Chains A and B, each alone.
Chain A
Amino acid sequence: MTTTSVAVPSTAEKKFNLNFKDFGIVFGLAAIMLFLALNTGTFLTGRNFINLFDQAAVVGLLAAAATLCIISGVFDLSSTATLAVSAISGVMITQQFGVTAGFFGALLVGALLGTITGLIVVSTRVNSFIGTLAVSIIYRGLAIVITGGAIVAPLPEQLASFQTWTWPSLFGLTAGSVLMLAMTTVLGIVLWRTTFGRRIYAVGGNQEAARLSGIRTGSIHVAVFAISGLCSAMAGMILASRAGSAQPAMAIGIELTAIAAVVIGGTSILGGQGAMWRAFVGVMILTVISNGFNLLHWDTTYQQVVTGVLILLAVAADGLFFRKSTR
């Protein structure tokens, strides 16, 4: 009697799968960078890297916040609406009280709006996806109300110092990139090492178990939304600083790019799993791809196709490797 085997993946292959699931995305980024380094003379220059990080700053900040949200089990689709309102408020405060006051004012407004979003989502118990979508429409409307639909800009004599986020600072990186890197690091440590971080994972992984462990799940979510608002405000000030102005329609749709970056990095959209470094890698992949299209003079319309395919691959790979590792 012949018999067929049930399944025979070698253990070596299995090990590789596990590691690949954990760090595969880093290899992905490395591969793209290697490709660009070999095919362009300009990719590996300091100037280009300064550029890369500057381009990553806004999405990077939003993705760092989105990581906290997604791991805790919520989505914040209102982040760029919050970004617009806080940037506009920042500019208006700048006009009245100066650049420094404007910057901190924007942060305050962002954190406040984030808190309000959080309170709305938590107290109405609506699905965060729908809840924050609604809130984002409200905030965009609010932005139009404040500005009357117009572009706002700081006074001409303030412009130079207002654009401080585009100036070179540490290692020649723009101040905006440094802010993004700093926030990613800080929030990464929060997630990795603090009791707050532990609670974020627990709430996202099993809300009822978290509640029965004495965790105030509502407060965790409000806090996460507040942090998201704060990061949105920072991103907003970087954008306004670059453009020298702010307007109600700024950064529309970038909240989705940020979520895409988080997912590409390998954080599970189901919550309770993931890490900050993953968001950073995801952001860098998206940025390097767009950078590559520029350097290679490829038609940038295809860039969207590539990005879309990449998101699908990331999500599918997550499912595939996860299944493999538990089967």
Chain B
Amino acid sequence: MAIEQLEKPGHASRRTAPEITVSGIGKRYGATQVLKDVTLSVIPGEIHGIMGENGAGKSTLLKILGGAITADSGTMELDGHPVRITTPRDAISHGISLISQELALIPNLSVLENVFLGRWSNRGSLLSPNRDSEHFARLLEETGFELDPRATVGNLPIGQQQQVEILKALARGAKVLCMDEPTAVLNEAEKEKLLQVVKRLARAGTTVLIVSHYLEEVLGLVDRVTILRDGQHIVTEEAAGHTPESLVRLMVGREVDFLIPDIPQVPSEAETVVRVAGLTSAKVKDISFEVRRGEILGIAGLVGSGRSETLLAVFGADRTTGGHVEINGRRIRPSSIRDAIKAGIALIPESRKEQGLVMSRPVAENIALSTLPARSWAGFVKAQRERTAVKDVSKSVDLRGARPGQPVANLSGGNQQKALFAKWLLNPPAVLLVDEPTRGVDIAAKARIHSIIVELAAKGTAVIVVSSELEEVLGLSHRIHVMRHGRIVAEFDRNASRDEVMTSAFLK
């Protein structure tokens, strides 16, 4: 399979990708058996998709391969030789690198420092930044990424942070890349670029294991696909014979309807709920729009175009320097989240780990956090009422995998997203701002979240949706605004074509 040699001398700990065989892998957390007797082998240089519902155990499997966690039972062989991988260091020394669902970069360091973290070139004990820069330039060339080595990682959009992660793995001479939902955080263009890079790396002999919930993407990319369901290995097969439907059937074990539901017309007499006029913050300029009762407004644009920042400004989370927001004719105090919440605005933020959830706290506490006063008496939490409310709302978003008393950190990625959604559904909002509503959720849950959004709108909520998935914005919105460089530059109705929207987002 290997055609061209991508490896530059002196950077690999291993020359070619190994054949990986795992047998009988089991993993249990408390009472839940997360992986049961999983056996599969990965051919060198192949792109291997790992698919399954939220909580099926995909991340757990990759983490075991990458040494981030250890299995309770089972064995692993590389090229027929048994190995024991118990730390990320072990994995890296065998050429296996894990790029996890939640990125693990050091935000205060520069791109260059992160890429070469722990393995800076040195002469004697002095760092040799020049050699690193050369190596960095070569890596950029290989991948086609455009990154400023001196930029501080914490200031980069998530898409670029992920590119840094990939470079970091390559810099360590990774021959096997385990990528957990790498495309979940990317926009269309970045996604395309990443898929090209993956193909290129595979052609050069790197094995890529990739987890993704995007069926078409997987089918277009991978050589073989492994399906997990409830922690069990269902099949490993050539991807060629599969369709999205056949994959879903294997993943879920039944037929699922995953089209975005039809969105009802907004009645012409529906009154305007949200009126934003000339809103300006450090990141967005002169944002004006209106959303009516029951209407869904989509905001499209590239990463960094100011979509998320628009939502943050409307919500009062970013300091605004001009303009105002009116909800049902009442002006909201500028930069006041509490006033925004009181007016009935809810924000489901872009990053569940940084902005959305308190990872150390229980699921139920997280869900109840933004509406505490609604279920309290004289400052005391009414535990019983909270439990019932949380249980109901968890069911409505199909949250699975942990008891309400367990920390949110124990949930699988997709279920964390559902918890985030549940949090703002406890008290149905008048205005819902959602940033990447279905990031990392499986196809069935995605359909569930889409229908929740549509149902909310049908009941009169004004919704603003930001998504990097153009299909989602197009399918879910009555109208679409396109943003570029912090401004709204175009407006389309729902019949706009994908290409029209893409073009206006990209235009200079």
Q: Given the complex of chains A and B, what is the CA–CA distance between A33 and B86 in angstroms?
A: 39
In the complex, whether B147 has a CB less than 8 A from a CB of chain A is: no
Interface segment, one of A105-113, A135-143, A200-208, A251-259: A200-208
Interchain CA distance A206-B30 in the complex, whole Å: 25
A96 CB to closest chain B CB, in angstroms?
36
Q: Roughly how many angstroms separate A211 CA and B380 CA in the complex, as a whole number?
A: 21
The reply to whether B84 and A272 form a contact with Cβ atoms under 8 Å apart is no
Q: Of B10-18, B180-188, B285-293, B354-362, which stretch is located at the interface?
A: B354-362
Stretch from A1-9, A150-158, A294-302 at the B interface? A1-9
The 8 Å CB contact of A272, one of B23, B361, B370, is B361
Q: How far is the CB of A167 from chain B (nearest CB, A)?
A: 33
Cross-interface CB contact of B361 among A3, A5, A205, A268, cutoff 8 Å: A205
A residues less than 8 Å from B337 (CB atoms): 211-212, 214
Q: B64, B349, B365: which contacts A201 (Cβ < 8 A)?
A: B365
B71 at the interface (CB under 8 A from A): yes
A209 engages B356 (CB within 8 Å): yes
Produce 1/0 per residue, A14-46, CB < 8 A to B.
110010000000000000000000000000000
Q: Mark B338-362, 1 if CB is under 8 A from A, else 0.
A: 1001000001010000111111110
CB pair A327 B70 closer than 8 Å:
yes
Report yes or no: B317 in contact with A206, Cβ–Cβ below 8 A.
no
Give the CA-CA distance A272 to B409 in the complex, in Å: 13
Q: Is the CB of B358 within 8 A of A201?
A: yes
Judging by beta carbons under 8 Å apart, are B358 and A7 in contact?
no
Given contacts A193-B380, A211-B337, whether A6 and B73 have CB atoms under 8 Å apart is: yes
Contact of A5 among B73, B356, B369, B383 (CB under 8 A): B73
Which of B73, B357, B358, B423 is the most central at the interface, judged by chain A CB atoms within 10 Å of its CB?
A: B358
B75 proximal to A (CB < 8 A)? yes
Q: Which of B28, B349, B358, B376 is in CB contact (< 8 Å) with A205? A: B358
Q: How many Å from the CB of A208 to the closest CB on chain B?
A: 5
Query: A194 on the interface (CB 8 Å rule)?
Result: yes
A68: min CB distance to chain B, Å = 15
B82 touches A (CB below 8 Å): yes
Q: Does any Cβ of B come within 8 Å of A216's Cβ?
A: yes
Could you tell me which residues of chain A, from 164 to 212, have a CB within 8 Å of some CB in chain B?
193-196, 198-199, 201-202, 205-206, 208-212
**Taking A6-B70, A6-B76 as contacts, is the C-beta distance between A194 and B379 under 8 angstroms?**
yes
- The answer to whether B369 and A202 have CB atoms under 8 Å apart is yes
Which chain A residues border B381 with CB–CB below 8 Å? 193-195, 198
Task: With a 10 A CB-CB cut-off, give which of A205, A210, A216, A326 has the most chain B CB atoms.
Answer: A205
| Residues of chain B from 41 to 75 with CB closer than 8 A to chain A in the complex | 64, 69-75
Interface size counted on chain B using CB atoms at 8 A = 47
Complex formed: what's the CA distance from A86 to B25 in Å? 62
Contacts known (A6-B25, A193-B381); A212 close to B356, Cβ less than 8 A: yes
Which of A199, A209, A211 has most B Cβ within 10 Å?
A209
Main secondary structure of the interface of B (DSSP, over half): mixed
Contact of B317 among A9, A15, A201, A212 (CB under 8 A): A212
B118 at the binding interface (Cβ < 8 Å): no
User: With the chains together, A201 CA to B359 CA distance in Å?
Assistant: 11
Q: Which of B28, B82, B86, B341 contacts A11 (CB 8 A)?
A: B28
Determine the distance from Cα of A8 to Cα of B440 in the docked complex, in whole angstroms.
31
Q: How far is the CB of A216 from chain B (nearest CB, A)?
A: 7
The answer to the question of A123 belonging to the interface, with a C-beta cut-off of 8 Å to chain B, is no
B372 at the interface (CB under 8 A from A): yes
Give every chain A residue within 8 A of B379 (Cβ-Cβ).
Answer: 194-196
Verify A1–B380 contact, CB threshold 8 A.
no
CB distance from A259 to the nearest CB of B (A): 19
B70 & A210 in contact (Cβ 8 Å cutoff): no
Interface flag for A124 (CB, 8 Å): no
Minimum C-beta distance from B55 to chain A (A) = 17
Name the residue of chain B whose CB is nearest to the CB of A203.
Answer: B358
Contact B77 A7 (CB under 8 A): no
> Which residue of chain B lies nearest to A4 when distances are taken between CB atoms in the complex?
B82
B390 → A minimal CB distance (Å): 13
Interchain CA distance A216-B30 in the complex, whole Å: 36
Quick one: CB contact mask for B15-47 with A, threshold 8 Å, 1 for yes? 000000001010010100000000000000000
Q: Are B75 and A7 in contact (CB under 8 A)?
A: no
> When the two chains form their complex, are residues A4 and B358 in contact, meaning their CB atoms are under 8 A apart?
no
| Chain B positions within 8 Å of A193 at CB level | 380-381, 383
Q: Are A6 and B372 also in contact (CB < 8 A) when A194-B380, A208-B355 are? A: no
Set of chain B residues within 8 Å of A18, measured between Cβ atoms: 30
Tell whether, in the assembled complex, residue A212 and residue B349 are in contact, meaning their CB atoms are under 8 Å apart. Answer: yes
B220 contacts chain A at the CB level, 8 A cutoff: no
Q: What is the CA–CA distance of A171 and B373 in the complex, to the nearest angstrom? A: 39
Complex: how many Å from CA A215 to CA B317? 12
Residues of B within 8 A of A2 (CB): 82
What CA separation (Å) do A202 and B379 show in the bound complex? Answer: 16
Cβ-defined partner of A214 (8 Å) among B70, B83, B338: B338
Q: Are B361 and A6 in contact (CB under 8 A)?
A: no
Interface residues of A (CB under 8 A from B): 1-9, 11, 14-15, 18, 193-196, 198-199, 201-202, 205-206, 208-216, 268, 272-273, 326-327
Q: Give me 11 other A-B pairs in contact (C-beta within 8 A), A194-B376, A206-B359, A209-B354 excluded.
A: A3-B82, A4-B75, A4-B83, A7-B72, A193-B383, A195-B376, A202-B369, A205-B361, A210-B369, A212-B349, A272-B361
8 pairs, CB–CB < 8 Å, chain A vs chain B = A5-B74, A193-B381, A195-B376, A201-B360, A205-B358, A209-B354, A213-B423, A214-B337
